[in-house]
Chains A and B, each alone.
Chain A
Amino acid sequence: MAEPLGLRRGIWIGLLGFIATAAALRAEPTVGQDPARKLVIGSKNFAESRLLAEMLKILVEDRSDFEVEHRANLGGTLVCMEALRAGAIDVYPEYTGTGWTVILEEKRRASDPMRTYFEVAKAYRERWDIEWLSPFGLDNTYVLAISEAKAASLGITTISDLVAHGPSLTAGFSIEFMERPDGWPGLREFYSLQLGSARGLEHGLAYEALAAGEVDLVDAYATDGKLLRYPLRRLKDDRGFFPPYQAAPIVRGAVLRDHPELRSMLDGLAYRIDDASMTKLNHAVEVEQRGFREVAMGFLRDEGLTRNTAVEAPAQKRTGFWRFFLDRWRVTLQLVLEHIWLTAIAVALAALVALPLGIWIQGRPMAARISLAIAGVIQTIPSLALLALAIAVPGLGLSTRSAIAALFLYSLLPILRNTHAGLGAVDAELVDAAKAIGLTKGQVLRQIKLPMAMSTILAGLRTATVISIGVATLAAFIGAGGLGQPIVTGLYLNDPDLVLSGALPAGFLALAMDFVLGRLERRLVPRGLRA
């Protein structure tokens, strides 16, 4: 009877040691001796936002001694906005139409581009002390694009022309477009447009679907680089539905007050980039697969805005997925470790909370109902929303901590529910027998209830771990690293190899952890209970 005990203890010590080591490896050096000279520029998870942010970075670096950090690939408007308000980032490129509809939730239709810009800028300043600097010049509004062949055969050039042919056409719209009031729902009503079907598609995949003939119609941004890659016709918004989407840097007011000199640097791109230039720049990174810094630098040099020529090494020519995959094994390994670290910390913390809680609520039906209900509600919050909520919490912000917080919350329910159910299922007669032969309450728990509930509890841990490995890929949206990083970047760069280089290890990791925990379960479940 001592042998399995020793083994169990060994496994636990090993596990704790692993977590501690992972934590130590990841422990970031304390930064910010002089936070005043550091500027954090954020950007959303698509090429244009990242390019604009990169250009701002180069401008500020050229003209000051600021240490500039670029947090790329933040997961959408709400994440950026929360990050800016929380001070996790100082600047990011935003679009007037987005501010108008998504942030200010204006129901009125935005009309004139300049009026929209001034109204949005005024509202941001008054409500959140956020300054809109001068627009870059481009207006990246939505456009509908249809394959050139289809458009020619049907004779369509405007959105109004679509109305007659609508029912015979299928659309693959980006998820965001499907839901935004200034996207498909508004467009459908405004033009009285009926389509054969309209599906939500990841934007990076929409063009592939179009090329494959699976959909006829996609939404695109006016400056989308991929528009140059496919034979597409942009349909004219002849009745002026889509609101203006002028891009401009937006900055926290406090930053400009502390460092007034930053304003002119960040304004350095005012009206320098028109739609056509932006489309070409996007094309350069999205389709030609050139590096962001290289493309940004090239443009600024051509415009006479920088003499800086330092760029990262040019991307190597691709020679098939496996070659690519093997070439970046070091990066992948780093990401796998980050991923494991995120998941292990989150699940371990959740176990530290949910296991004692699950034990405590035994025999307290009210507390049991309430805590299970709360954990259940948390579970229903969509992962991205949970991440956005987490970064709004002071002290979490745009960091790994937010991702861990979200994963932690997700892991609570499976562990709590299984602990509760497992302990509840222990035969009352055996508990009575244990008491009758003189076991204390604690001994009944340790010697009888926990060992008998072990397999159910471990199944809960296993579920939590596998779920967390999946959800942790979303951590990339808030820049917390992990295997989601190549997936997210790959989707926006339309680079299947990059997507796979994250997705394959993530899938493998989930299977491997499931297997490992399955083995652990076999070790930890008392021999007498094994089937």
Chain B
Amino acid sequence: MPDASIRFESVSKTYRSSKSGATTAAVVGLDLEVASGEVLCLVGTSGCGKTTTLRMINRLVEPSKGRVLVGERDIQELDPIRLRRRMGYVLQRGGLFPHLSVAENIGLVAKLEGWTRERIRARVLELLELVHLGPELAERFPRQLSGGQRQRIGVARALMLDPPIILLDEPFGALDPITKRELHGEFHELRRLLPRTMVLVSHDMNEARTLADRIGVMSEGRLLQIGTWDDLVGQPANDFVASFVGGDHG
């Protein structure tokens, strides 16, 4: 497997308001390393910079300072389109295109890559099976699916080109608790079958604990602490981390 590590080197992102000219720091001096095959979960309250961090990995957001390396290569030197197609991306509510069928949604990027129809068809069916959906769903449209089904399709779409890295933006945030637990189980199974580098963003500490090897806690654009669940509980770096770790989970 190719080197699928990710590294942030003192990365900052500031936004300048076009009206007032005032600047806001979304991410400040971030250093971070994700090893090949590792699952990292960034947690924090909304507006803490975790999603901005995620979006800097595939150049949806460009850093103002510092650099991001993927497989030890500065991603500024890579074509953003090629970069994104080498990374799966899963969105909160699935982000499925309502005018395309399930099969078309999953196969869209492969079609643009010039795959043959037969190859796309075979891969789509394979992926549907992987996310525990029947082949009869292939011709349905997103509006005919449940939230859990849509999210599974979102994951299948991210896996279409078999990318070494998968980014997940609050993938299970909009689901009911039962569906969420089900999908958590499938996530583990998927990891076993397809070990990939994954970075996911969540505001749910429980989810982070369940899914991730390591957890990064962010607040106000800064990474407060990064480590395993036991690290965070055992030696919290400060009161914020302690309360965040202890909040849901006394």
Residues of A whose CB lies within 8 Å of any CB of B are 1-2, 429-430, 432-440, 443, 447-448, 451-452, 526-529
Contacts and interface: CB of A to CB of B under 8 A. Distances in A.
The 10 closest A-B pairs by CB, nearest first: A433-B95, A438-B84, A526-B99, A528-B141, A438-B85, A436-B89, A528-B99, A451-B99, A529-B99, A1-B104
B60 interface: yes
Interface in B45-85: 55, 58, 60, 81-85
A438 B98 contact: no
Contacts of A438: 81-85, 109, 112
13 contacts: A1-B101, A2-B117, A432-B91, A435-B60, A435-B84, A436-B91, A437-B84, A437-B157, A438-B83, A440-B81, A447-B108, A527-B141, A528-B143
Nearest to B103: A1
B241 to A, nearest CB: 30
A452 B97 CA distance: 9
B142 interface: yes
A429 B101 CA distance: 18
Nearest to B87: A438
A7 to B, nearest CB: 15
Interface in B197-242: none
A154 B249 CA distance: 103
Contacts of A435: 60, 84
B112 A439 contact: yes
B154 to A, nearest CB: 9
A529 B95 contact: no
Contacts of B98: 430, 452, 528-529
Given A437-B89, A437-B109, A438-B109, A430 B97 contact: yes
A430 B99 CA distance: 11
Given A1-B104, A529-B98, A529-B99, A436 B60 contact: yes
* Dominant SS among interface residues on chain B: helix
Best-surrounded residue of B82, B98, B101 (most CB of chain A within 10 A): B98
Interface in B80-132: 81-85, 88-89, 91, 93, 95-101, 103-104, 108-109, 111-112, 117
Contacts of B82: 438
Contacts of A526: 99-100
Contacts of A433: 89, 91, 95-97
Contacts of B60: 432, 435-436
Contacts of A451: 99
A2 B89 CA distance: 26
B105 to A, nearest CB: 9
B127 to A, nearest CB: 14
A529 B101 CA distance: 10
B155 interface: no
A432 to B, nearest CB: 8
A527 B142 CA distance: 11
Nearest to A435: B60
B41 interface: no
Given A447-B108, A452-B98, 17 more contacts: A1-B103, A1-B111, A429-B95, A430-B98, A433-B95, A433-B96, A436-B55, A436-B84, A437-B109, A437-B158, A438-B81, A438-B83, A439-B81, A439-B109, A526-B99, A526-B100, A528-B100
